[in-house]
Structure 1
Amino acid sequence: MSKTVEFLFDLGSPATYLAYTQLPKICEQTDSQLIYVPILLGGVFKATGNATPAAIPAKGRYMFQDLDRYAKRYGVPLKFNPHFPINTLMLMRAVTGMQLRHPERFAAFIDCLFKALWVEGHNLNEPATVATVLSQNGFDPNEVLALTADEDVKAVLKDNTEKAVQRGVFGAPSMFVSGQLFFGQDRLEFVREALS
């Protein structure tokens, strides 16, 4: 495996969820490695002056219709989360902590959170809801909460986010192949071509 895809992601983006459902398959088909890089989308938006498309009502309505089209094309479930937007600071610290401290459980961890947000429509702004979701998926909420307070974990997430901005990232999902940036789940065919 000589080719890699760096997948810069934040759980709070429905487009990122769709990319997440497709990238492993693309990497398998192109004999490439998928590298997950957690970032804080709110931090990227603040640094770049960008904002969610949902901030513009007409664009937001269109975006969710378009994402629904892609979900049908990909054959994956997608439900608009009625609690959107989600403040993902604690979630992305937890994701970063799991990647750092428990890499063997990382895939299952992000999978349960992506599904909770974009298939089951849970309000992950609520700590009690997060705790329930984690418990139901075999994770100890107290252990996860401890990860979010870990100074090394906080530093890694901040560093990932700052480096992403320095590399030209302005939103999520963002993918890098051979140093080339691809933004948006609707650019996955370009990612595939770059890997082939």
Structure 2
Amino acid sequence: MSAPHSTGDGRPYFFFDFISPFSYLLLEQHEKWPDMPFEFVPVQLLKLFERWKQPHAATIPSKRVFVYRHALFRAEQLGIPFRMPPAHPFDPTKALRLAVLANGDSACVRDIFRFIWREGRDPSSPEGFRALCEYVGMPEAEARIEDQAVKAKLRENNDRAVAMGVFGVPTFLVNDQIFWGEDTLPMVLYVARSPNWLDAAEVKRISNLPMGRTGAEFGDAAELGA
């Protein structure tokens, strides 16, 4: 069974954006992950939202508050240090380019996340990014993130994610299947141990359900008195 839009190559991937507290929380549980050589792929969540025409949580006031509370709750539940940055959403572009420059090194990615979500600092301002570069031991990165090759690689990551059907972060891609969200880790672990579950009759059935009526069509029907 292949995921819709998937052009995966069978390798395991971890797609993330530093704007996401749940990406941070999932990475802090790295010792629980399946024993697989995950490639760390920084992507721009807002670009994914634009591609799939999804609203950002920050555009819905009640959802924004819930997301922040949920992230704090999960951190407390998991015993993970957590401190929101001064403002959110922030522009994660510089931090993402820094991760690209570090070739997705997991230790560097972890430290960037901790600067933002454990230290509660802003990586987007000139002063904040300079401090971040020092924090991860890459002071030269302040200038190097402007390299065209670095910018192009981040765009390539976004395109690759969309081609694989990735619609949010954090996302695991295991056996070319998408597992989205911090709370998906138990499912990833289960499928890693029991890959045949994806071939079960009911899993196949619900994975190929026909598309029903969309919200817009419901609205049209209501206007017509249906």
TM range (shorter): 0.7 to 0.9
Structure 2 counterpart of 1:81 = 85
- Counterpart-to-counterpart distance in 1, 2:191 and 2:86: 36
1:10-43 Cα deviation digits (max 9, x unpaired): 1111111111111x2123xx43222211111122
Tell me which of 40, 44, 48 is aligned to 1:44: 48
- Counterpart-to-counterpart distance in 1, 2:42 and 2:135: 23
- Counterpart-to-counterpart distance in 2, 1:93 and 1:57: 29
Structure 2 counterpart of 1:35 = 39
Residue 161 in 1 paired to residue 158 in 2?
Answer: yes
- Counterpart-to-counterpart distance in 1, 2:82 and 2:144: 29
- Counterpart-to-counterpart distance in 2, 1:18 and 1:4: 23
- Counterpart-to-counterpart distance in 2, 1:55 and 1:194: 34
SS in 1 for 2:38: strand
Structure 2 counterpart of 1:26 = 32
Q: Could you list the runs of 5+ residues in structure 2 that have no partner in the other structure? A: 1-9, 194-226
Residue 67 in 1 paired to residue 74 in 2?
Answer: no
SS in 2 for 1:33: coil
* TM-score, length basis structure 2: 0.74
The structure that has the greater radius of gyration is: 2
Tell me which of 9, 15, 18 is aligned to 2:22: 15
Residue 124 in 1 paired to residue 123 in 2?
Answer: yes
* TM-score, length basis structure 1: 0.85
RMSD in angstroms over aligned alpha carbons? 1.9
Tell me which of 184, 188, 194 is aligned to 2:185: 188
Percent of aligned pairs sharing the same letter: 28
SS in 2 for 1:191: helix
Opposite residue 82 of structure 1, the aligned amino acid is P
Q: Could you list the runs of 5+ residues in structure 1 that have no partner in the other structure? A: none
- Counterpart-to-counterpart distance in 2, 1:40 and 1:123: 17
Opposite residue 33 of structure 1, the aligned amino acid is P
SS in 2 for 1:189: helix
